[in-house]
Amino acid sequence: MRSQRQLRVGEEIRHMLATLFMRGDIPWPRGMVDMPDVTVTEVQVSPDLKNATVFVMPLGGQKLDETVKALNMIVGHFRHEVAQTITLRYTPKLRFSADNSFTYAQRIDDILHQPDVAKDLEKGTEDEE
């Protein structure tokens, strides 16, 4: 379970990175053309506040692995921006990771809509009435 401080710092970093992506001030690596818009879904900070995992999702889920790889190549730029914007004793080391929560949620939805599972769910609601 994360502490209030971890949650607050993570949310502060998420908000700052989201603003950076919204402005479009990203120095994409050479050869990386036509990079998608990126959404920062969550930032998880370690208990000592020295490491942070930034979960991202490109718009439409396009080029997910390529985008995460490109962001990790220029992670120094983001760490510098965090250091300039947020007042912390230590600037956390950032690591970008793909946010798979959307895929996981879709998988659960697909399972719930399978005919045999849906039949059991309908039977359960009829029994309650």
pLDDT tens figures, 82-126: 999 999 999 999 999 998 776 777 788 778 877 877 777 777 666
The Cα 56–Cα 87 span in angstroms is 23
pLDDT exceeds cutoff 60 at 127: no
Give the model's pLDDT for residue 89. 92
- Give the chain as a 3 state SS string: CCCHHHHHHHHHHHHHHHHHHHHCCCCCCCCCCCCCCEEEEEEEECCCCCEEEEEEEEHHHCCHHHHHHHHHHCHHHHHHHHHHHCCCCCCCEEEEEECCHHHHHHHHHHHHCCHHHHHHHHHHHHHHC
pLDDT exceeds cutoff 60 at 129: no
pLDDT tier, 29 (very low <50, low <70, confident <90, very high otherwise): confident
For residue 101, count other CB atoms closer than 10 A to its CB. 12
Sole residue written with tokens 């080391």: 93
pLDDT (average), residues 59-83: 91
pLDDT exceeds cutoff 90 at 64: no
pLDDT exceeds cutoff 70 at 28: yes
CA angle 75, 51, 89 (to 5 degrees): 100
The Cα 40–Cα 49 span in angstroms is 19
Give the model's pLDDT for residue 8. 96
pLDDT exceeds cutoff 90 at 3: yes
Least confident interval from 28-32, 50-54, 97-101, 120-124: 120-124
Give the model's pLDDT for residue 128. 59
Give the model's pLDDT for residue 33. 67
